[in-house]
Amino acid sequence: MNRERYILRSLAVGFVTAILMFFAFFISEKVATLINVAAIVIQIMLGVRRTHDIGKSGWWMFLIVVPLVNIIWGSTDIQKGDNGMNEYGADQLER
């Protein structure tokens, strides 16, 4: 997943989640919790796809829970992906 698609999809998930959460709090706190968990899972899936694009394992995504490391790791959002094939598949920009 290239940088632009990753950032746009992350923003879209955040925007949709914010709207759904606004209405969910009027319905039920449990519904809001389910929406939040679903959004977190989707963001993790997007992050794993992005880490694969730069040639790293998806497990690196879990470094974002470590204080200060998450700031450094956040630079991968703007880092160019690997050129050509890597161990996780073809270059997304060649499609």
Query: Which residue's entry shows tokens 């997304």?
Result: 92
Instruction: Determine the 3-state secondary structure of 1 from DSSP.
Output: coil
Q: Within 10 A of 76 (CB to CB), how many other CB atoms are there?
A: 20
- Evaluate whether 91 touches 81 at the Cβ level (below 8 Å): yes
* Confidence band of 85 (pLDDT split at 50, 70, 90): low
Q: For residues 92 and 55, which has the higher predicted lDDT (pLDDT)?
A: 55
| Ramachandran angles phi, psi of 85, nearest 5° | -75, 145
Residue 37 pLDDT greater than 90, yes or no: yes
Q: What is the pTM of this model?
A: 0.68
Tell me the two tokens of residue 78: 């703007």
Residue 76 pLDDT greater than 70, yes or no: no
Ranges 23-27, 32-36, 72-76: which has the least confidence: 72-76
